[in-house]
């Protein structure tokens, strides 16, 4: 089984990773105790070549790889990608373009009305019966004539 480092190194590596994760409390963490116990357990057997020992070593090697590569992946991601996205305007400005303005200005979503039964549009009221005069257009005249 080429490429496997000695059990001591693997154990040390895993414990170092756990310490990096947990900080000073690492001795009390579940993972630490379990890993320690496993290494102890596999040491006890007196056999020269023990298949279970090899398997346990391989598994612990994989776990060390998992912990360290996850840590490095996050570190690299934070370094290169985690700066937060620049805004759209800034990105456009980099290449010398401008973002087109929304026709309704900001907050157009609130003014947008969908699935209405009746809508006021350009001085008319439009609904399923057709287009009608908007009473608001003539309200000034009718009310003032009522007053007379």
Partner 1 sequence: MYVESAICPKRKVTRMEMSTSRLGHALSTQNVCPRGQAIKLLPLLCGNTKPYSIITERKRFYEDVSISKAEGGSFEINLDRRKMKTPGGKLFTAPNEALAIAVANEWDTQKDTLKFYCMHLTTLCNTALDNPTLRSKDQMITAALKYLETDTLCYRVDEPPSLVELQNNEWNPVLNWIEDRYNVVIGSSTSILGPDIPQTTIDTFRQHLSSYNFWSLIGLEFVITQLKSVVLAFALVDKHITVEQAVLLSRLEEEFQIGHWGNVEWAHDVDLYELRSRTAAGALFVHFSSESSTVKRKIMQG
Contact criterion met (CB below 8 Å) for 134 and 120:
yes
Shorter beta-carbon distance to partner 1: residue 44 or 141: 44
Using CB under 8 A, list all residues that contact partner 1. Answer: 1-4, 18, 21-22, 29-31, 34, 38, 41, 46, 52, 54-55, 58-59, 61-63, 65-66, 69-70, 72-74, 76-77, 79-81, 109, 113-118, 125, 135
CB of 117 to partner 1, least distance (A): 6
The b-or-e profile of 67-83 (16+ CB within 10 A means b, else e) is beeeeeeeeeeeeeeee
CB of 25 to partner 1, least distance (A): 10
CB of 91 to partner 1, least distance (A): 18
Which residues lie closer than 8 Å to 63 by C-beta, 6 or more apart?
14, 35
Contact criterion met (CB below 8 Å) for 14 and 63:
yes
SS3 124: strand
CB of 144 to partner 1, least distance (A): 20
Shorter beta-carbon distance to partner 1: residue 5 or 97: 5
């Amino acid at each position: 089984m080429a490429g496997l480092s000695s059990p001591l190194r693997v154990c040390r590596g895993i414990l170092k990773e756990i310490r990096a994760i947990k900080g000073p409390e690492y001795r009390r963490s579940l993972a630490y105790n379990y890993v320690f116990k496993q290494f102890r357990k596999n040491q006890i057997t007196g056999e020269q070549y023990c298949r279970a020992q090899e398997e346990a070593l391989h598994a612990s090697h994989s776990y060390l790889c998992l912990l360290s590569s996850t840590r490095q992946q996050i570190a690299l991601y934070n370094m290169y990608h985690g700066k937060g996205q620049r805004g759209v305007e800034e990105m456009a400005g980099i290449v010398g373009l401008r973002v087109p303005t929304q026709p309704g200005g900001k907050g157009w979503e609130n003014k947008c009305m969908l699935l209405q039964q009746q809508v006021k549009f350009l001085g008319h009221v439009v609904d399923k019966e057709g287009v009608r005069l908007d009473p608001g257009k003539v309200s000034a005249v009718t009310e003032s004539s009522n007053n007379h």
